[in-house]
Amino acid sequence: MFPLKPFQRQRMVIAMLLAGFSSLSHALTFDDALRLAQTKAPQLEAREAAVAAAQSNALPAGALPDPKLVLGVDNLPVNGPDAYSVSRDFMTMRRIGVMQEFPNGAKRKARVAVAQDKVAVAEAQTRITRLTILRETAIAWIARKTVEQELAHMDDLRAENRLLDSAVKAMLAGGKGTATDAVMPRQEAALIEDRADALRTRREQAIATLKRWIGAAAEEPLQGTSPDWPISHDVLAHSLHRHPELTEFDSKERMLDAEIGEAQAEKKPDWALELAYQQRGPQFSDMVSMQVSFDLPIFPGSRQDPKIAAKRAERAGLDAEREATLREHTAMLESDLAEHRRLANAVKRQREVLLPLADEKVALAMAAWRGGKGSLAEVIAARREHIDTELQVIELEGQRRQVAARLYYAYGDHPGAQP
């Protein structure tokens, strides 16, 4: 065996590296897309930051206000020859002290509850965002998978068209058929390319939508298929109350109840304690003083009561909003279930009835044309119907899976879990 020259060794190394890179190319499965969506979507990062902010705000919620440093001068003359003199020969006292305010216990407890419920609301909104991202990622992945299956079917149709074109040329060479028969396969080929162009556009749109949730990985080739979730009316209807947008109202209601309690606690007086040290002249003793002050909420009709009424009005509005949301999702659930049933029936009908009939029609038209009893136009029309039926099966199955994904990630028993 002859030794390799330096440039030959370099080429071999490069070839091996390229082979290694090609073997490391990653295909995007359905589960991969969901995992990437939960790590790459900026919407989820924003929600998680909001949870962290709410948790940080909850830490000082029940703490006392910061103490205040008090500096002052007492018994300062304001007239006479010693006006505004701070000489220590007089009764003038320099004062330094500390004051601490003590909000009433009910108010502090209510503030803690409000802060904790704000964390719960932020967490509920994060769950809503996460499930929305999972749902939209699943739908986008299925949409791309569907259109790529249709594009793959276009290659089979092109091959069949070439076979038909060869058959037509052979028939014409044998003195059968008409001159216009030679044009029809080319017309069909043009129609196939029109459909392929439309499908490629849909594929690019699906990739763009998927890229919104998972980034550049959306351009990787797809692998595998999506789960075929079992859809049960009774199970989903029973799980309706666990929809994230409905469970969010629980946290909001608790937060408003705590805010109502905080507003009611403003009717109870807060108090403050002040301790001070007072320094006088050398001929006088220094002094200390203690002072206690209380709030006087003696005008609740114009101050506290309107705040309480406002919070109660918000609470009533939230109850009405919850009922409206429940009705909306009930209607959406019934509508999606009806659409899923329609699509499931349509897919079954296409596969079991219409597609076999289309196959039979193409076979009969081809046999009639080859026997000289039919026209090529009838063959082309039958093949076109067959194309429509096959593509319709793929399209309807993709739509059914998209509706199933929407139902699963909205109303399923475990909508946050990956399948």
Q: What is the pLDDT of residues 207-260, one digit of tens each?
A: 999 999 999 999 999 999 999 888 888 888 888 888 888 889 999 999 999 999
CA distance 327 to 369: 59
* Residue 405: closest CA among 332, 340, 334, 352: 340
Residues 282 and 352 both lie in one domain: no
Residue for token pair 């010693």: 82
Q: What is the DSSP string of 277-338?
A: EEE--TTS--EEEEEEEE-----TTTTHHHHHHHHHHHHHHHHHHHHHHHHHHHHHHHHHHH
Residue 49 lies in a domain: yes
State the CATH number of the domain containing residue 343: 1.20.1600.10
Residues 191 and 325 both lie in one domain: yes
CA distance 98 to 71: 9
Structure tokens at 267: 């009717």
Residue 84 lies in a domain: yes
Residue 1 lies in a domain: no
Within 82-234, strands assigned E span 93-102
Structure tokens at 219: 């351009």
Q: For the chain, what's the residue count?
A: 419
Confidence check: pLDDT of 139 > 80: yes
Residues 33 and 131 both lie in one domain: yes
Burial 37-63 (b: 16+ CB within 10 A, else e): bbebbebbeebeebbeebeeebeebbe
User: Domain range spanning residue 121?
Assistant: 27-64+106-266+303-411
- Going from the C-alpha of 379 to that of each of 9, 36, 175, 367, the distances in angstroms are 58, 48, 19, 9
Q: Which residues make beta-bridge pairs with 289?
A: 276
CA distance 220 to 380: 37
Work out the widest C-alpha separation in the chain, in whole angstroms.
Answer: 139
* Residue 30: closest CA among 405, 412, 407: 405
* Residue 114: closest CA among 52, 162, 57: 57
Average pLDDT score, the chain: 86
- Going from the C-alpha of 269 to that of each of 103, 104, 293, the distances in angstroms are 8, 7, 10
Residues 277 and 237 both lie in one domain: no
Residue 230 lies in a domain: yes
CA distance 262 to 246: 25
pLDDT the model gives residue 283: 78
Residue 369 lies in a domain: yes
**Residue 19 pLDDT grade (very low, low, confident, very high; cuts 50, 70, 90):** very low
Residue 260 lies in a domain: yes
Give 18 or 268, the one with higher predicted confidence: 268
Residues 87 and 210 both lie in one domain: no
Extract long-range pairs of 56-65: CB within 8 Å, 24+ residues apart. 57/115, 57/118, 58/112, 58/115, 58/116, 58/118, 58/119, 61/111, 61/112, 61/114, 61/115, 61/116, 62/108, 62/109, 62/111, 62/112, 62/115, 64/100, 64/101, 64/102, 64/103, 65/100, 65/101, 65/103
Q: In what order do the strands lie in the sheet with 93-102?
A: 68-74, 93-102, 271-279, 287-294
pLDDT the model gives residue 40: 81
Give 418 or 61, the one with higher predicted confidence: 61
Residues 166 and 47 both lie in one domain: yes
Which range, of 170-184, 343-357, 364-378, 390-404, averages the lowest pLDDT?
A: 170-184
Confidence check: pLDDT of 305 > 80: yes
Burial 138-156 (b: 16+ CB within 10 A, else e): bbbbbbbbbbbbbbebbee
Residue 105: partners with Cβ closer than 8 Å, 6 or more residues away:
none
Residues 71 and 174 both lie in one domain: no
**Residue 286 pLDDT grade (very low, low, confident, very high; cuts 50, 70, 90):** confident
Q: Which residues make beta-bridge pairs with 70?
A: 97
Structurally, how many domains does the chain consist of?
2
* Residues of the chain above pLDDT 70, percent: 91
**Residue 66 pLDDT grade (very low, low, confident, very high; cuts 50, 70, 90):** very high
Q: What is the pTM of this model?
A: 0.78
Residue 389 lies in a domain: yes
**Residue 90 pLDDT grade (very low, low, confident, very high; cuts 50, 70, 90):** low
Q: Residues 46, 48, 53, 54: is their CA dihedral positive or negative?
A: positive
Residues 132 and 244 both lie in one domain: yes
Residues 297 and 383 both lie in one domain: no
pLDDT the model gives residue 342: 96
Task: For residue 271, count other CB atoms closer than 10 A to its CB.
Answer: 13
pLDDT the model gives residue 17: 40
135, 406 contact by CB (below 8 A): yes
Residues 161 and 214 both lie in one domain: yes
